[in-house]
Amino acid sequence: MKSTIQSIKHRNKQHGAVLVISLLLLVVITTLAISGMNTATTELAMARNDQNYEYAFQAAETGLENAMAQGSFDTLVETDLGQNYINTNDEVVAKVRFEDSTLVPDRAFSLGVGSGVAAYHFLATAEAKSKRAPGSTTDRDSSALHTQAFYVVGPESSSL
């Protein structure tokens, strides 16, 4: 009987401990949940920004393809293909500039030097911009600048 009285006294001392421990665990779990939500929000913004850069990259590649596919190159003036809107958010400006002309080396063509054949070196440049969510603090605009050097083989003359 004495042990029963001691256990009742012992139980009376612990009545508030479960409530305090439960509240502490609730605070810890809430803190972890809020931290997880902040991390997820940051990762989503990073993914959107990375995707936006990819849009700018692809728009610049499209600008280079269009510049080189046009097929008419001038050795006297820079060819500006103008501003091209890919969609409402993405735009690209492409240019082709003449760099230099060289004689075709003997090893490159069976015709060889002095045959009236020259290589005309050009530089195509495409600058793309991709705009997202104006005024947003997490989404950022992106841009990409791509260049591609190439040459055209043709007769020795002042322009192609």
> Which pair of tokens denotes residue 94?
């492409």
Chain segment 69-86, per-residue pLDDT in tens:
887 888 888 888 888 888
User: Helix, strand, or coil here: 114?
Assistant: coil
DSSP 8-class letter at 104? P
CA distance 79 to 148: 14
Residue type at 29?
I
Lookup: tokens for 155: 């007769």
Q: In the predicted model, what is the mean pLDDT of residues 2-17?
A: 63
**pTM (two decimals):** 0.67
**Per-residue pLDDT band at 88 (split at 50, 70, 90):** confident
Does residue 140 register a pLDDT over 90?
no
The ranges assigned to domains in the chain are 2-155
The per-residue pLDDT for 36 is 93
